Amino acid sequence: MKVTVLSGGVGGARFLRGVLAVVDPDNVSIIGNVGDDIEVLGLHVSPDIDSVLYALGGVADEERGWGRSDESWNALSTVAALGGETWFQLGDRDIGLHLLRSELLQQGTPLSAVTRRLAEGLGLRSALLPATDDPLRTFVETPAGTFPFQEWFVARGHRDEVDALHFTGAAEARPAPGVLEAIEAADLLAIAPSNPYVSIWPILAVSEIRAAIERRTVPCVAVSPLICGRAVKGPADRMLARLAGGTDPAAVAGCYPGLIDALVIDEADAAAELPAEVRAVVARTLMVDDGARRRLAQAVLDAAAAVA
Ligand code: GDP
Ligand code: CA
């Protein structure tokens, strides 16, 4: 059974750990979001890809919820002491990875090849594919102005309401090598419980990726990142309220028109109604531990079998 998962950062990575517990990792492909990528202090940082790398490589900091475990902050302290900008936090171990990525990119190695090398180095058996090697970046339109994603999310603490998303470079962006093949070879497509607007939409903004999913002949199952209308973490609920007019499962399904056959929703939302073409599959969706992650991934496999 080959499974291909569209994933953002931390929420996606949690789900992927469950997937790898129920599917042979060699048969899992992950299509990652690069809309969040940012140049910091001359380094190319791919926050969503790195969240997946660190989680699946077993080096993520579970308590902090992002970055690496056993981290130290000497490099950033030096930047601060010298009056540099430190609003985007980077630990020393994290910086080591960004140094290598940035050097390889500067030498002309595409992001997908760089990511493959990093994934191999961290012991991943699954293919981790950036959606595109081309520069695609998320911009957030708010009443206070339009901001690059990280400026809104990190520097402004995502306090501004979002009126629209823009994905610069998307019109010209081609899928990275292996992406269309992973979609076409899959027996099951899954959309992780990531933020639909800023983690999954930038992937779907690559028109050939969206088209490949639209013409799928296998089930595509999404997992809702909301429980009882609330995001487990982050601004997805506020974004849905403003951009989709609601935070119920139908609003989540509405983010993926023509793209999903089932939506896995929480037990607490079992009474929700979905559009006729999307089957509701009820499960416990809060991924508190290995068992919960594994059961949620199994619910996605079961959902796929039910709509196949
Ligand atoms: P980011 O790129 O690091 O912000 O992470 P993602 O976009 O991949 O995931 C963020 C989303 O994950 C948020 O909208 C959360 O609501 C969702 N999320 C986090 N943990 C859980 C969980 O245990 N269950 C569910 N259903 N969603 C979760
Ligand atoms: Ca993200």
Interval 42-70: pLDDT, tens: 999 999 999 999 999 999 998 888 999 99
Section 78-85 average pLDDT: 97
Of residues 62 and 96, more confidently modeled: 96
Section 72-101 average pLDDT: 97
**Would you place residue 280 in the very low, low, confident or very high pLDDT band (cuts 50, 70, 90)?**
very high
What's the CA gap between 269 and 196, in Å, rounded?
18
Section 300-306 average pLDDT: 96
Q: Is the pLDDT of residue 305 over 90?
A: yes
What's the CA gap between 281 and 264, in Å, rounded?
5
Rounded to the nearest angstrom, the distance between the alpha carbon of 176 and the centre of ligand 2 is 18
What tokens appear for 137 in the block? 């970046």
Helix axes 10-22, 47-56, angle to 10 degrees: 40
pLDDT of residue 65: 87
- With the C-alpha atoms ordered 83, 157, 5, 133, is the resulting torsion angle positive or negative? negative
What's the CA gap between 25 and 159, in Å, rounded?
38
**Which residue minimizes the CA distance to atom 12 of ligand 1?**
11
Q: What is the DSSP letter of 280?
A: E
What's the CA gap between 281 and 243, in Å, rounded?
24
Rounded to the nearest angstrom, the distance between the alpha carbon of 8 and the centre of ligand 1 is 8
The residues lining ligand 1, judged by C-beta closer than 6 Å to any ligand atom, are 8-12, 14, 48, 51, 192-195, 199, 223-225, 231-234, 236, 285-287
User: CA 72 → CA 38, 161, 291, distances in Å?
Assistant: 21, 33, 30
Q: What is the mean pLDDT of the chain?
A: 97
* Reported pTM: 0.98
Atom number in ligand 1 closest to CA 292 = 23
Atom number in ligand 1 closest to CA 51 = 3
For a substitution probing ligand 1, which of 5, 10, 239 has the most ligand atoms within 8 Å of its CB? 10
User: CA 145 → CA 29, 35, 232, distances in Å?
Assistant: 37, 18, 27
Identify the nearest ligand to the CA of 138 by its number.
Answer: 2
Q: Which residues of 150-162 are buried (b: 16+ CB within 10 A; e: fewer)?
A: bbbbeebebebbb
